[in-house]
Amino acid sequence: MNTVIIMLLIVLVIVLTWQQIRFRAPAPLVNDAAENTIAVLPSVPANEEKSINLLEDVWWKAMDDVEQLHLALNLARKALPVWEKYTTTQQIIYRNSSTGPFNKIDSQLLQAAIEEMQLHSRLQYPASDHKKINQCYYNFVSPVLALQDGAWSAPYPVKKIFLAVYNILKSILEQNSLPGFENYLTTAINQSIDCMEVSKLYSRNEIAGFLESYKSRL
């Protein structure tokens, strides 16, 4: 009986001693570098983040007017598949009032406007009174008003590319209004970039690479 009690006491002492050693042991070492890497891990690679601070960077204003226009038009053309995909799945019909007529937006509206502007801007800024470009602009007016009034709603990227082309047209009509027309171009450039990024049409790095081809000319 005494032997059993002694054995139990020995076991109890061993267990208590092991528990004390366990709780006094230091916490395992955490590598500081690894901890910092996890804490600041970006959602996209760091090189992409650095190269795409685009909505605040307006370096293109250092280019001449025609080059700015070319950049805006080429960005709009790159974003155009967002519009084309949207218009292949549905017709765009709206009405400005509950009793007003239904209006249909031509699916080729954006492409036609971009091509017309590119055709007449190869060597110089198109004239503000150019008949065909003015007609393209007026084809946008009613849909833009519908967007503003809520008579026509569109997904965010679709809305952005639509307004980008409209603002490029507006820059041509308002080219004699300084600095107004440059602001239209800057808005259009940012809208096309926003459209491509939000729609995931291109990666941020791909967009940055395309912009770099223009930036390197400065």
- 164 and 125 in a single domain? The answer is yes
Predicted confidence pLDDT, tens digits, the chain (218 residues): 556 556 656 655 554 454 444 434 333 322 333 222 222 223 333 343 444 455 556 888 888 899 999 999 999 999 999 999 999 998 999 998 888 899 999 999 999 999 999 999 988 999 999 999 999 999 999 999 999 999 999 999 999 999 999 999 999 999 888 777 788 999 999 999 999 999 999 999 999 999 999 988 88
- 154 and 122 in a single domain? The answer is yes
- 94 and 123 in a single domain? The answer is yes
- 129 and 210 in a single domain? The answer is yes
Degrees (nearest 5) of the Cα angle 51, 80, 76? Answer: 55
Boundaries of domain holding 35 = 2-39
- 95 and 131 in a single domain? The answer is yes
- 16 and 73 in a single domain? The answer is no
- 109 and 6 in a single domain? The answer is no
- 86 and 32 in a single domain? The answer is no
Query: Do 138 and 130 form a contact (C-beta atoms < 8 A)?
Result: no
Query: Do 181 and 174 form a contact (C-beta atoms < 8 A)?
Result: yes
Q: Strand, coil or helix: what is 103?
A: strand
- 115 and 179 in a single domain? The answer is yes
Question: What does residue 73 show for φ and ψ, rounded to 5 degrees?
Answer: -70, -40
Domain count, the chain: 2
The residue type found at 202 is Y
